[in-house]
Amino acid sequence: MKFIERAFPWILTAPVILPVVIWGEVIYPYLVPKTLLFYALTLVAAAAFLALLASGKAFFWARLRRRETWIPAALLALAYVTSYFGIDFYRSFWSIFVRGDGLLMLTCAVTSFYLVLLSADKKFFDTLLRGVAVVATFVALYGIGEWFLGGGRIGSLLGNAAFFAGYLGIAFFATLAAAQDLPRSWRDAAYFGAALQVVAIILSATRGTMLALIIAGLAYLAYAAVKGEGSKKQHARNGLTVLVVIAGLFVGFRSELAKIPFEPIARVASISAAETDVASRLFIWKHMLVEVGQHPFAGVGAEHVSTLFDRFYDPTQIVEEWFDRSHNAFLDYAAQYGIGGFLLYVALIASFFAAALRTRSKRTGLFALLAITYAVQNFFVFDTVSSFWLFLVLIADFFAVSSNTPRSAIRLSGSVRYGAPLTALVLLALIVPVSVRPALAAYDLAQAYKYQLVDVSREADYFLKGFNLSTYGDLEYGYEAYDMYAGTQASSLSGEARAQAYDAALTVLATDFNRYPYNARIALYLAHVLSLAPAERPADQELLSKALARTIELSPKRAQAWYILVNLSIDDANKHPIGSKERIAGYKAAHNILDKYITFVPTSAQPYFVRAQLEYANGDAKAAADSAALGKENYAGGLETARRAAGYYEGIQDWKNAKFFLEEIVKLAPNDTASLYDLAKVKYLLGDKAGAEEIVSKLRTTNPRILETDPNFLNAITIYERTGN
């Protein structure tokens, strides 16, 4: 028991290392290992607590008398109730692999909160802060190195720029707090680490966290300018003046700053309601508020934001294809747990802020600023296990060290005292289904990816083995089955190998389709895979029809399901002779399907180009030209739309319009050498032989084999290169 007592504080602080935990042999090496380890550590911590409790160890039970300490428990209870009556409690509890943010994670985080609250002292608090300072500085250094090597937005060991910056936004203040009680040399090192964290946040180009830090800085200066004394007050006022001037210059030269080839500055300068990302977020928030209004008190349960997103998804308004968060934690809480969830989440943040202001210590201001930063940045992003656990535990620690209550032991009855160790053993045994089996499923999925082309039999064995472990990774298995088959195997494999790959993908997707009738993504993926059935495996037409109908019902503005219906009508029509009534009827049915979809998204350019291709193929060149004109009129960017348009204009030999859209493709997909080669040919046909030569010269270096795909053009451009004619 002495060993458990000595180890207990270290077990509680162990999740500090989560940001640096990755495992390359899983399909999601950044978040999945973190969440699985967090579950295991929490179960070990809870088991150790029960063992210590049974042995008679004293804890700080009186701390539970503070009303604000019950906010996390109330939030957790509400989350369970709303999820029980929500869309699917199973999915609410387990979440999905890539997110790991369901009731299980919330339960573990709240459990950590209370274990820390009941056992932490100042020594524990200092150890935690120093651990955060070290880990966060390492993560920041790794991210900075990543930026020097590759540039662009960096995700460091969290795999995503927003996750990375969100974690550092909290860790920065914890690092500053750690410095307060360190010797001079170590204090300077901590300040240097905090500075590195700010640099890393800037390099991540995450506007939400940068804005949060700016607002926190302004709050500090404003407070010091009013309440400060002597030179501190004057310095604060001078600082505010400087910031106002800088802000004015930034706004005045915003358009020029947006062109600077340094993403952190360019992204901040480009913020406006018309900017694509911002407009997309505003559209999502607006419609999320509408959805929250449909079920203001019950919510839809944890991990079901995606079902709301699917209802209002509009390809003309939203950048992302699939969404399981609104990029606003407050809206997510309201959507999942109703208004009560939103209020409790706000109360949780406010309780930390209020407690920090009530407590007189040199760390008071830092934790008040931390609460402000967390609230502001989560208005634009959302938590991961690393940031949410850290925030909750810092609250618990702050409540703990600001309380003067003594330790006390609880006298347990005989049955409870003897039952506690047994319960502890049960908790330890739960590590297998909660962490070990999901880790094996993630490993098997990674192995399946490894063999998807070189050994399909082995890929299918790994794939079905991992899926049959019956973990909560079944949805991800469906998503990855689609990506592997539709994205790679259907076009790269043939014969029995392709049939085996199809069988494995179909097995998983059909199982998920029956298990999750509310999931539009699985329904669409199943339909697409069925539409790509190999000749050896004729598609189940009834299942295909059901999958398409469900997709359109759950997410009516998604184009893919409508396009599959169009293709099915065309394929059926092409089975009949040209000019026959059946063929004409089939093409008319396809045209009607497109017309119906266009009524849902009248400002979407792509369906007009699809309709134009259909009309041109059916011999109606005038109608095709009219549809294409509407497509071009509504074109607002987008790779797939540009591909459709370029294909149509190349088909009718409208080289001027073909050039425009091929240039769009090359701009959006610089590595698409096939489109680049087409652009060279179109330029040549338009008389821009020098432009064509420039592209061919580039391709001779980057992809010379593609030049051989059109010997006639290659011969013509070679003559021009030699003679200039």
pLDDT per residue as tens digits for the range 631-644? 999 998 889 999 99
| Amino acid code (one letter) for 628 | A
Q: Residue 550 in contact with residue 515, Cβ under 8 Å?
A: no
Q: What is the pLDDT of residue 249?
A: 83
pLDDT band at 718 (very low <50, low <70, confident <90, very high): confident
pLDDT of 579 > 90? The answer is no
pLDDT of 412 > 80? The answer is no
Residue that wins the pLDDT comparison between 721 and 127: 127
Both tokens of 174, joined, read: 């914890």
Q: Where are the beta strands (DSSP E) in 129-270?
A: none
Nearby residues of 690 by Cβ (< 8 Å), 6 or more positions away = none
Q: Residue 613 in contact with residue 633, Cβ under 8 Å?
A: no
Residues 635 and 371: their CA atoms lie apart, in Å, by: 43
Region 7-18 average pLDDT: 97
pLDDT per residue as tens digits for the range 196-225? 999 999 999 999 999 999 999 999 999 888
Region 171-184 average pLDDT: 94
User: How many contiguous H segments (helices) and E segments (strands) does the chain have?
Assistant: 35, 0
Both tokens of 528, joined, read: 């697409």
* Burial of residue 15, with CB atoms counted within 10 A of its CB: 0-12 exposed, 13-18 middle, 19 or more buried: buried
Region 216-239 average pLDDT: 87
Q: What is the pLDDT of residue 254?
A: 83
- Three-state DSSP at 673 gives helix
Q: What is the dihedral of CA 218, 223, 224, 226, to 10 degrees?
A: 120
Could you tell me how many residues make up the chain? 725
Beta partners for residue 218, in sequence order: none
Domains, the chain? 2-401 (no CATH), 441-557 (1.25.40)
Q: What is the pLDDT of residue 244?
A: 85
pLDDT per residue as tens digits for the range 655-685? 999 999 999 999 999 999 999 999 999 999 9
Residues 620 and 607: their CA atoms lie apart, in Å, by: 17
Residues 242 and 224: their CA atoms lie apart, in Å, by: 15
pLDDT band at 419 (very low <50, low <70, confident <90, very high): confident
Q: Residue 554 in contact with residue 311, Cβ under 8 Å?
A: yes
pLDDT per residue as tens digits for the range 76-104? 999 999 999 999 999 999 999 988 999 99
Q: Residue 332 in contact with residue 326, Cβ under 8 Å?
A: yes
The single residue listed with the structure tokens 């993403």 is 263
pLDDT band at 269 (very low <50, low <70, confident <90, very high): confident
Q: What is the pLDDT of residue 414?
A: 67
Q: Residue 427 in contact with residue 47, Cβ under 8 Å?
A: yes
| Amino acid code (one letter) for 686 | L
Region 449-458 average pLDDT: 95
- Three-state DSSP at 631 gives helix
Q: How many CB atoms lie within 10 A of CB 402?
A: 18
Chain mean pLDDT for the chain? 93
Region 312-319 average pLDDT: 91
Give backbone dihedrals phi and psi of 408, rounded to 5 degrees, phi first. Answer: -150, 150
Q: Residue 372 in contact with residue 403, Cβ under 8 Å?
A: no
